[in-house]
Amino acid sequence: MQVQSEFTIIGAGVAGLTTAIALQQLGRNYLLFEQSKVLTGIGAGFGLAANAMQALEILGLRKEVELIGQHLQHYNILDQKGRILVAPDTKALSKKYNQQNFAIHRADLHLYLLDKIQADHLQLNKKAVRFEKNNDGITLFFEDGSQHKTRYLIIADGVKSPLRQQLLPAAVPRYSGYTCWRATIDNSNISLKTGSETWGKQGRFGMTPLVRNRIYWYACINSTANNSKYRQYSVADLATHFADYHHPIPEILRQTQDKDLLWNDIIDIKPLKHFAYDAILLIGDAAHATTPNMGQGACQALEDVAVLKKVLSQHSTVETAFIAFEKQRLQRTKYITETSKLIGEVAQWENPIGIFLRNSIMKKLPAQLAQRNLNKLLSVDFMQL
């Protein structure tokens, strides 16, 4: 079988779509395969911090994404009664990259990225099930029985990545200990102006305004994995669970319909030792899925692509470019996965004495110390690491 494309990308999420755009910009030949039959854009919202906006700037996409995103001036951590525990100085953070922080609906970002891709370079309803690597290329096998031969394979098929699990059978998703509901609702009756996350004894509740007068909210509750009780949970159950939480949480839940509720157990993968395997590269969640506690999963996927574009344009072979990518990305993404896991463990405490002590300490911490993790993340230039 002849090689049919120089690059093949598996997975059309943020990582895969943006990689396709970067390869297009470099004039490289690629095909993108996605398992879904249609890409209408699913999910709720996510934050695009200043580092993600910088990555988008490098890819020439920042200005247009700003138009579909909601500028976030503040993002506070609150206690159950709505009192501020930490108020990160987002302006100082933005200054480091000279970029603002945004929140965006996942579907809006996906559809925007999709629109940039040449239609004949994307094949839908193509679930990759395995690959075989020979001296003359890599053959991909799809669930529908078809095959595709490529010179280089970029695996961007998300946290559960079946292709990563073929490459690294031990790298299976690990459960965080908490489960999460999300939805996007209308903001007309609530008029939410700022983003916040509330740490209470029945779990966490986050909310952020979005463009077109919408709110993105999420709620995390401690649980065993794939808990059958929570699988049945409706908005009314969540409203009862969070009934003691401050305004506007009960109101947000009252305004949410069951049909708009998304539910997932929160998982990540233990940091990998490698992302590059000769002609194969792992990127995005397939490479370094993290818990959402630092709001950095998609941001890191965007950083990946900015770095990948740079190394591909600097190196004479793709294999050495992949190694350079790995060198630049491994430590940074490991730091995020580990720090985010730790933040999640502390944020999900249920013991009232532990919560009292944690909250007292958080309130007294100087702002600089409280946002140390974010500062560390944003103070380094990910393009120069």
Binding site for ligand FAD (CB under 6 A): 10-16, 33-36, 46-47, 127-128, 156-158, 162, 180, 182, 218, 264, 284-285, 292, 295-299, 301
The answer to whether the beta carbons of residues 163 and 11 sit under 8 Å apart is: no
CB of 10 to ligand FAD, least distance (A): 5
Structure tokens at 23: 């390869």
Cα–Cα distance, 304 to 302 (Å, whole number):
5
Q: Which is nearer to ligand FAD, 69 or 248 (CB)?
A: 69
Q: Which is nearer to ligand FAD, 47 or 344 (CB)?
A: 47
Q: Which is nearer to ligand FAD, 263 or 349 (CB)?
A: 263
CB of 13 to ligand FAD, least distance (A): 2
Longest CA–CA span in the chain (Å) reads 65
Structure tokens at 88: 């990160």
Classify 191 in phi/psi space as left (phi over 0), alpha (psi -120 to 50) or beta: left
Q: Which is nearer to ligand FAD, 127 or 310 (CB)?
A: 127
Residue position matching structure tokens 């949970």? 233
CB of 257 to ligand FAD, least distance (A): 19
Burial of 154 (0-12, 13-18, 19+ CB in 10 A): buried
CB of 17 to ligand FAD, least distance (A): 7
* CA nearest neighbour of 123 among 42, 25, 287, 4: 4
Q: Which is nearer to ligand FAD, 154 or 190 (CB)?
A: 154
CB of 346 to ligand FAD, least distance (A): 18
CB of 142 to ligand FAD, least distance (A): 8
Q: Which is nearer to ligand FAD, 209 or 295 (CB)?
A: 295
Q: Which is nearer to ligand FAD, 188 or 341 (CB)?
A: 341
Q: Which is nearer to ligand FAD, 145 or 366 (CB)?
A: 145
Q: Which amino acid is at 32?
A: L
CB of 33 to ligand FAD, least distance (A): 5
Q: Which is nearer to ligand FAD, 135 or 373 (CB)?
A: 373
Structure tokens at 345: 């463990």
CB of 47 to ligand FAD, least distance (A): 4
CB of 46 to ligand FAD, least distance (A): 3
Q: Which is nearer to ligand FAD, 147 or 351 (CB)?
A: 147
CB of 11 to ligand FAD, least distance (A): 3
